[in-house]
Every structure is written in C-alpha cells, then in structure tokens.
Amino acid sequence: MATQLNLPIGVQAFSKIRTGGFYYVDKTPYLHQLIDEGSYYFLSRPRRFGKSLLLDTLKELFEANEPLFRGLYIHDRWDWKTRHPVIRISFADGVMSSRRALDQHIEELLREHSQRLGITLSNESIQGRFRELITGTYQQHGQRVVVLIDEYDKPILDNITDADVARELREGLKNLYSVLKDADPHLKFCLLTGVSKFSKVSLFSGLNNLRDITLSRDYGALCGYTDE
C-alpha cells in the first residue's frame, strides 16, 4: 500500500516537508532558472502564499543539503561540492511599533548570524554591522554570500495608519537594505520578498540591479499551487 502523504499546511521548513511525509510540488526548475539568469531579485506575493518556504528551499540549496533534493529536478543540475553561507533576515514574527524595536530586532538577527558564522562585529551602526557581517562571512568562508530577506515590508505595513512611525521604520529598513549595493563583490544571490510593492522604489533606490519578478510570466508559479 502506498504511503499516504499530507498537505503541508502552514509548514515553512523545506526539510520538514521532504522528510516528514508531506506532498511537495517541485519548484526547483524555477529556482534553477532564477539562479542561472541573475543574482538580485524582488518578489511580492500575498501572505500565506509560500514565500517563506521558497526562501527556506533556497537556503537549503545554497547550503548544499543534497539529500533533501534527491528526486527533484535540480538534483542532477547542481554543484553539491560548493556550499555558500546564507544570511536570512525575517521580519515575519511580531509587531515592531517603533524604530527602537526595529533596530533591536535587526541587532538580534545580526548577532545570531555573526555567532553562527563565526564573525566578530565591531561597528556600532546597524548599517556598518550588516556590512561587516557580509564582508567577514565572505572572507571567513571563502565563498560569496547569499542574502534572503523575508517580509521586507511588514514593519511598515503593521504601522501603516501611523504615518510618522511608518516613515521612521522605512528609514531604518532603507539603511539596512542600502548595504546590499556596495556588498555586490561579496554576494552570490539576493532575494527580497514581501506583500507590497509600494515601498520598493524608496527602500531599494540604490539597488538599480534588483529585478522585480512579481508579474513575470516565467515565475508565476514560483510560489503556491496551480490547477495543474
């Protein structure tokens, strides 16, 4: 009797889906194309649409966790000998209702990544520490870094009815994202996801090489399910 698989409702960890008896719709053909065609991407999708799972799949792929991809399209098309360090930043959890709360959240994430990757951060500003993290990780591990940002706009959307707070949070996020442009020599791949597109221009004005694939026909089925 065939093993009955479960639908991965609410499951955002790729490893859990692949090892926990869940259905998985193979999205790796899109990932292969995405990585082959460029390095900097922006994707907007509604909440609960598979964005976090997409980022987690990319994380496992770049970290060369080969067993998780056995039987999938990309398995025989990927260099499993090369492992890229991944920095994943998520704003999905909690509500940050002030610039101080946002800065504290970012500081905690940078500290966690620096400890995991074995990097010492000495700069006092968030912008400087993020730059140090990327540069130091590249130097320490000898491979270009992958940066994945989940729910890039959530702090702003959570405070959309308070214009002053929303502007403060926007400036804080802009300072963080501005690091990515000058870090180009040390970056392998970068994907930012969120719900909205309204703040794309103001937040990423320095990233003129950021490709928006939100409405791209080639990547329409990158997240979620289709009738097929």
Give DSSP secondary structure letters for 93-146: SS---SHHHHHHHHHHHHHHHHHHHT-----SSHHHHHHHHHHHHHHHHSS-EE
Please give the average per-residue pLDDT across 107-127, as a whole number: 95
- Report residue 180 as tokens: 């990515």
Residue owning tokens 């009738």: 227
Residue type present at position 50 = G
Q: Which helix (H) or strand (E) holds 177?
A: helix 163-177
Q: How far apart are CA 124 and CA 161, in angstroms?
A: 31
Please give the average per-residue pLDDT across 32-37, as a whole number: 95
The three-state secondary structure class of 160 is coil
CATH code assigned to 14-219: 3.40.50.300
Q: How far apart are CA 186 and CA 138, in angstroms?
A: 6
Query: 93 vs 130, which has greater pLDDT?
Result: 130
Please give the average per-residue pLDDT across 53-63, as a whole number: 96
pLDDT at 1: 45
Query: 133 vs 9, which has greater pLDDT?
Result: 133
Q: Is the pLDDT of residue 11 over 70?
A: yes
Sign, Cα dihedral of 196, 197, 201, 206: positive
pLDDT band at 2 (very low <50, low <70, confident <90, very high): low
pLDDT at 36: 95
Per-residue pLDDT tens for 70-111?
999 999 999 999 999 999 999 988 888 999 999 999 999 999
Q: Is the pLDDT of residue 207 over 80?
A: no
Q: Is the pLDDT of residue 143 over 90?
A: yes
Q: What percent of the chain has pLDDT over 70?
A: 92
Q: Is the pLDDT of residue 133 over 60?
A: yes
pLDDT band at 181 (very low <50, low <70, confident <90, very high): confident
pLDDT at 127: 94
- Report residue 43 as tokens: 């994707």
Q: Which helix (H) or strand (E) holds 29?
A: helix 28-37
Q: How far apart are CA 6 and CA 77, in angstroms?
A: 28
Residue type present at position 118 = G
Q: Which helix (H) or strand (E) holds 193?
A: strand 187-194
- The mean pLDDT value of the chain amounts to 89
pLDDT at 205: 61
Question: What's 43-104 look like in SS3?
Answer: EECCCCCCHHHHHHHHHHHHCCCHHHHCCCCCHHHCCCCCCCCEEEEECCCCCCCCHHHHHH
- Report residue 185 as tokens: 């020599």
Please give the average per-residue pLDDT across 205-224, as a whole number: 81
pLDDT band at 206 (very low <50, low <70, confident <90, very high): low
Q: Is the pLDDT of residue 186 over 80?
A: yes
As to burial, measured by CB atoms within 10 angstroms (0-12 exposed, 13-18 middle, 19+ buried), residue 2 is exposed
